[in-house]
Amino acid sequence: MTLWMIGNMAAHSVPSTLKRLLFAVKYSPLQSRCCAVQREAQYSTISIPSEKTFDKILIANRGEIACRVHVKMADEAVCVGSAPTSKSYLNMDAIMDAIRVTGAQAVHPGYGFLSENKEFAKRLAAEGVAFIGPDTHAIQAMGDKIESKLIAKAAKVNTIPGFDGVVKTAEEAVKIAQEIGYPVMIKASAGGGGKGMRIAWNDEETREGFRFSSQEAASSFGDDRLLIEKYIDNPRHIEIQVLADKHGNALWLNERECSIQRRNQKVVEEAPSTFLDPVTRRAMGEQAVQLAKAVQYSSAGTVEFLVDSKKNFYFLEMNTRLQVEHPITECITGLDLVEQMIRVAKGYQLQHTQDDIPINGWAIECRVYAEDPYKSFGLPSIGRLSQYQEPLDLDKVRVDSGIQEGSDISIYYDPMISKLITYGATRAEALGRMEDALDNYVIRGVTHNIPLLREIITHPRFVSGHISTNFLPEVYPDGFKGHQLEADAKRELLASAAVLYITAELRSAKVLGTQRVASTPVECSHWELCVELGEERQDVEISKSGTVYTVEMDGAKVEVWGALNLASPLLPLTINGTQRMLQCLSRDAAGVIVLQYLGTLFKVRVLSKLAAELNSYMPEKVSEDTSSILRSPMPGTVVAVSVKPGDTVAEGQEICVIEAMKMQNSLTAVKQAKVKSVHCKPGETVGEGDLLVELE
């Protein structure tokens, strides 16, 4: 179920540019979550009332993206098909129909989907509808990785060796890889960013990478071509935002540091980069502009570079669209990129010169994903957002999302919940705000990556700016394990849990209304409890005086003050004089309290001393042996099953492939064994934890 909406531009912050917007959203009704940092930062854009505007613009994309394109409310919606993207947002016929039905004069493609599809741009041109983006030839030139590299070379832009084109067989891929020299990276030519990108260090991995990438190329982009190129080890991913008009003017709007990635997808971005000096920045910016001019680029675009530790930079690719992380550039430059794109599409000249482009302050963006960061830094998770609260009451925080409480996160789309952007005069200020914003962000019903995001932005290596695209695997070689509590922090957590427990106990004992049989009031201000965290048990004494709880454990005292609201997911506490925002996810009768503290979820169990003593008699319940069963680690669709009952599989051998959120994941055997039974077949939809294959 997919909807298109048409927005009334009355709510636009730059109202003269256009009157109405038309855009696609997945969720209806839609409420915009765009809180503009820029409203305070002030765009440097000058509205010119005499400029003629588009009356109606179609935004061919999903809620969070459409919403970003400055819409408060939409007033028309068109369904473009069922959930799978190939039947909706990638369905050009349906979109063209939508344009005709609504009479839109221009189309903003957002990002992803058809944003860099030259075919789409062509069809729009044929209908006389303006495409808010570069001209077809630029999309074609830059969308094609071979051509873009040739053009880049010709434009004197640094490039890295590689091959791009149709690769027919795995062996051909291996040959190309050997010519370039390992390591190489393989991806679908048409895919943007790192989506579907795979690194191969040997022939075997090349074959596997070829298989995945070619399948993905066909299923996600409808274009079989592959890109194979030299992989630069330990690089930074830094990109330059460019903006060009149809009159040959082009600007570089500084860089975005996007090195924090998992599986080659960006997680945390910032602008500017801590790494670039003005000279390098200018060199990169100028090369980016040279490239834009070489293809007579108009509109906003991004030139991606890999930067090595010596500040050598290589052209990676150019994205001929607005990018997910564009808000951080808006924050530091004060330009509204969407507005500029629309003006350019209408044929106006740029309002700025290169000297007008400042770097004001620092901006950070975290991509909040519906995924489990404990599995490979993030495997998709699905569910219904039973509770959802964005930290919009915080200063200089912007959240771009297309979802709201009650929305379903399905397996059919990218698992991004929102982009969380904070801004500050300095990097430290922006980071501090991000910490607060993450702590105040309430997401329930799906597993999300806030634990990982918060760990990244507070990690000493990140804070010092010492990062590369290998940051995550280097910092967490054994995978992400959540925040590791130090003694003080642990005491604070346990004390908070104990206080929450006591608050609930006291409330239970307070029965309102007149009672036939008088109840015995519980008048207690001192408790002895036992708090468990993992394997650890801690005896705790609590005394209450007014609203202050003093929690003693291990010979140390923790003072907790807070007006605890047992209905609220947020628990603002003052612990030993420091304000902390904890979140309570659940609290059950058996004393189990799940708290989010410093971003990570901790399961704490609070019991009375008596219950804790007696609990030692309770038997440990044995859980099932998981080495011989393969369960789906995430919800998705079974693409291929490589084994049948009776087969013998080697350790590490592929058993089946699950596609979720447009990513293909190969599931392998953890031990050598004979296949006992297979419980799934290709095309089937499976849920997280569903039994797929049993081994003997």
Partner 1 sequence: MMAAISVARSSCGLINGLKVSLRSVTRVKYGAVSATVPQTSLHRSCRWYSVSHLSVKERIDQKRQAALQGGGQQRIEAQHKRGKLTARERVQLLLDPESFVETDMFVEHRCADFGMEQDRNKFPGDSVVTGRGRINGRLVYVFSQDFTVFGGSLSGAHAQKICKIMDQAMTVGAPVIGLNDSGGARIQEGVESLAGYADIFLRNVMASGVIPQISLIMGPCAGGAVYSPALTDFTFMVKDTSYLFITGPDVVKSVTNEDVTQEELGGAKTHTTVSGVAHRAFENDIEALLNLREFFNFLPLSNQDPAPIRESHDSSDRLVPSLDSIVPLESTKAYDMLDIIHAIVDERDFFEIMPNYAKNIVVGFARMNGRTVGIVGNQPKVASGCLDINSSVKGARFVRFCDAFNIPIITFVDVPGFLPGTAQEYGGIIRHGAKLLFAFAEATVPKITIITRKAYGGAYDVMSSKHLRGDVNYAWPTAEVAVMGAKGAVQIIFRGKENQAEAEAEYVEKFANPFPAAVRGFVDDIIEPATTRKKICQDLEMLASKKQVNPWKKHANIPL
Interactions with partner 1, residue window 606-645 (CB under 8 A): 607-608, 610-611, 614-615, 617-619, 621
User: Is residue 687 near partner 1 by the rule CB under 8 A?
Assistant: no
Looking up tokens 């058809």 gives 114
- The torsion angles phi and psi of 351, rounded to 5 degrees, stand at -90, -15
User: Is residue 566 near partner 1 by the rule CB under 8 A?
Assistant: yes
CA angle, 214 then 219 then 222, to 5°: 85
Of 210 and 413, the one with the shorter C-beta distance to partner 1 is 413
Contact 50, 18 (CB under 8 A): no
Of the candidate spans 366-374, 516-524, 639-647, 686-694, the one that interacts with partner 1 by CB under 8 A turns out to be 516-524
How far from 166 is each of 199, 221, 225, CA to CA, in Å?
Answer: 18, 14, 4
Q: How far is the CB of 372 from partner 1 (least distance, A)?
A: 21
Contact 390, 444 (CB under 8 A): no
Q: How far apart are CA 201 and CA 205, in angstroms?
A: 6
Of the candidate spans 173-181, 262-270, 276-284, 562-570, the one that interacts with partner 1 by CB under 8 A turns out to be 562-570
Contact 25, 4 (CB under 8 A): yes
Q: How far apart are CA 35 and CA 331, in angstroms?
A: 12
Q: How far apart are CA 261 and CA 264, in angstroms?
A: 5
Q: Based on the residue annotation, tell me whether 444 is a catalytic residue of this protein.
A: no
Beta-bridge partners for 261: 266
Q: How far apart are CA 206 and CA 446, in angstroms?
A: 35
Looking up tokens 């030259």 gives 118
Of 586 and 648, the one with the shorter C-beta distance to partner 1 is 586
Of 322 and 385, the one with the shorter C-beta distance to partner 1 is 385
Q: 356: how many CB neighbours lie within 10 A of its CB?
A: 13
Beta-bridge partners for 572: 581
Of 72 and 293, the one with the shorter C-beta distance to partner 1 is 72
Q: Which of 321, 343, 491, 605 is catalytic?
A: 321
User: Is residue 146 near partner 1 by the rule CB under 8 A?
Assistant: no
Interactions with partner 1, residue window 24-83 (CB under 8 A): 27-29
Q: How far is the CB of 26 from partner 1 (least distance, A)?
A: 11
CA angle, 427 then 432 then 433, to 5°: 100
Peptide bond preceding 327: is omega within 30 degrees of 0, i.e. cis? no
Q: 100: how many CB neighbours lie within 10 A of its CB?
A: 11
Of 305 and 527, the one with the shorter C-beta distance to partner 1 is 527
In the set 10, 125, 425, 509, which binds partner 1 (CB under 8 A)?
509
Strands 313-319 and 299-307: antiparallel
Q: How far apart are CA 196 and CA 185, in angstroms?
A: 10
Of 564 and 667, the one with the shorter C-beta distance to partner 1 is 564
Of the candidate spans 191-199, 268-276, 370-378, 602-610, the one that interacts with partner 1 by CB under 8 A turns out to be 602-610
Of the candidate spans 22-30, 173-181, 352-360, 672-680, the one that interacts with partner 1 by CB under 8 A turns out to be 22-30
Of 294 and 585, the one with the shorter C-beta distance to partner 1 is 585
What is the pattern of x (binds partner 1, CB under 8 A) and - over residues 452-491? ----------------------------------------
In the set 404, 458, 576, 653, which binds partner 1 (CB under 8 A)?
404
Q: How far is the CB of 433 from partner 1 (least distance, A)?
A: 27
In the set 49, 510, 536, 546, which binds partner 1 (CB under 8 A)?
510
What is the pattern of x (binds partner 1, CB under 8 A) and - over residues 406-425? xx------------------
Q: How far apart are CA 62 and CA 71, in angstroms?
A: 13
Tokens, residue 465 = 């700016």
- The residues binding partner 1 (CB under 8 A) are 1, 27-29, 384-386, 388, 404-407, 507-513, 515-517, 519-522, 565-568, 589-591, 607-608, 610-611, 614-615, 617-619, 621
**Which positions are annotated as active-site residues?**
321
